[in-house]
Amino acid sequence: MSHCELEELTEHINSRISKVKNLMHLRVIGNDPEKQKIFRKIAAEVSGMTKLLDQFEKCVAEERDSLKQLEELNELIEEDLQNAIHMAENIPSHMPVPTSAVNEVLPVQKENEQPPKDQAPAKKSRKQIKEMEFITVHEFDTIPPYMKGRVTYDQLNSAVRSINKSVTEKYKILQQPLKTLNNMSRKLYDRFKENETGETRGHFFVVEADLREFAQVTVDKRFLNLLSMLRHCQRLKETRGGGLTRYQLL
């Protein structure tokens, strides 16, 4: 046995002897009635401290759970913040605006009621010119890849803008009284009427000549592909007849 091991063994034995002496001393003291009261008081205080420690551990566990929930909430907030930043940086240039083709409402005149003498007769209501709604990002994502190809979201909505411009300019002329039209507008008016069919009457539509006249658009293969995507998104439909293709707004 080495010198170091002998010292460790000696220290261990002395420690055990010291503990035995303390136990014997406490045993002698424990037989004293006065000391027993003190021991009981100490035991009660130790029991109370044990309960406090249990409560403290319970509070620590609850706070740990709360901290975990706050960390999870912070992750969700961080994710929402990143989504909001992404949305702010990628706002589409064309925001869809609901439109509807409705007639202007005229005041209702009761039966047998005569209008005041100084009141001018009511003008005939004009039908509001309908416009095609812009394509949303969600709708654009639903277009099949084979149909979409390399067409971008902005390019498709640019076609929507061209169609809306043509429709607006065309029906502005159609809604004007004939006597107010100049020679060029009257020729356009006559052509518009010739292009109408029973299926398109009462609806808003344009033909290739209208797109070329008012939006400077050439209906080539690329533009026809854009029209196919608009049909897929249920923005228009095509009707054919008399050698013309009519693009009718839905």
pLDDT tens, position by position, 128-181:
888 999 999 999 999 999 998 899 999 999 999 999 999 999 999 999 998 899
CA–CA gap between residue 115 and residue 120 (Å, rounded)? 9
Instruction: Kindly state whether residues 79 and 150 are assigned to the same domain.
Output: no
Number of domains making up the chain:
2
Confidence label for 2 from pLDDT (cuts 50, 70 and 90) = low
Q: Is residue 121 part of a domain?
A: no
Q: Is residue 18 part of a domain?
A: yes
Confidence label for 28 from pLDDT (cuts 50, 70 and 90) = low
Q: Is residue 102 part of a domain?
A: no
Whole-Å CA distances, 176 to 79, 118, 168, 182: 55, 26, 13, 11
Q: Is residue 226 part of a domain?
A: yes
Contacts of 170 (CB under 8 A, 6+ apart): 188, 192, 206, 210, 214
Q: Is residue 200 part of a domain?
A: yes
Instruction: Kindly state whether residues 149 and 57 are assigned to the same domain.
Output: no
pLDDT, tens only, 43-93: 777 787 788 778 878 888 888 888 888 988 898 898 888 888 887 777 766
Instruction: Kindly state whether residues 68 and 166 are assigned to the same domain.
Output: no
Instruction: Kindly state whether residues 171 and 227 are assigned to the same domain.
Output: yes
Element spanning 58, H or E: helix 33-89
Instruction: Kindly state whether residues 164 and 62 are assigned to the same domain.
Output: no
Answer with the residue of higher pLDDT: 165 or 201.
Answer: 165
Calculate Rg over the CA atoms of the chain. 45
Q: Give pLDDT, residue 226.
A: 94
- Answer yes or no: is pLDDT of 103 > 50: no
- Final residue before a domain boundary, out of 25, 56, 89: 89
5: amino acid identity, one letter: E
Instruction: Kindly state whether residues 180 and 242 are assigned to the same domain.
Output: yes
3-state SS assignment for residue 35: helix
Instruction: Kindly state whether residues 85 and 145 are assigned to the same domain.
Output: no
Q: Is residue 113 part of a domain?
A: no
Mean pLDDT value across the chain = 81
Domain that holds residue 143: 137-249
Q: Give pLDDT, residue 216.
A: 92
Tell me what percent of the residues of the chain surpass a pLDDT of 90.
40
Q: Give pLDDT, residue 145.
A: 92
Q: Give pLDDT, residue 125.
A: 55
Q: Is residue 45 part of a domain?
A: yes
- Answer yes or no: is pLDDT of 118 > 60: no
Among 29-38, 178-187, 197-206, 234-243, the minimum mean pLDDT is found in 29-38
Contacts of 2 (CB under 8 A, 6+ apart): none
Q: Is residue 132 part of a domain?
A: no
Among 31-40, 171-180, 216-225, the minimum mean pLDDT is found in 31-40
CATH number at residue 159: 1.10.10.1890
Instruction: Kindly state whether residues 73 and 152 are assigned to the same domain.
Output: no
Instruction: Kindly state whether residues 147 and 61 are assigned to the same domain.
Output: no
